[in-house]
Amino acid sequence: MPAKERHGLDGDIEKNCANCRYFSGGGESGDGDCRRHAPQPSSVRIRRHGRDETVALDSWWPTVSDSDWCGDFEEIDATDW
């Protein structure tokens, strides 16, 4: 497979997060969330007074850059708005 195709540069649209229907964010930093799947849970721990304590169970979507890409790309179309 040619490198151009492997990196999502085949066709008329660049296949990256900025052009994907699952990308939420962007702005000046270019960072955002990939909302392809449900948020992933994770426990958050901090150290207090010399011992570990569980502070919270939280969940979030993976943070990605608008120039990132993956195999789940789906182009934004008019039905997304």
Per-residue pLDDT tens digits for 31-80? 999 999 998 887 666 666 766 666 667 788 889 999 999 999 999 876 65
CA distances from 51 to 46, 55, 56, 57, 68 (A): 8, 12, 16, 18, 38
Model's pTM, two decimal places?
0.63
Tokens read off for 27? 């702005």
Task: Give the three-state DSSP class for 4.
Answer: helix
Read off the DSSP letter of residue 18: G
Position 7 pLDDT exceeds 60: no
Length of the chain: 81
CB within 8 Å of 26: residues ≥ 6 apart: 18, 32, 66
The answer to whether the CB of 37 falls within 8 A of the CB of 72 is: no
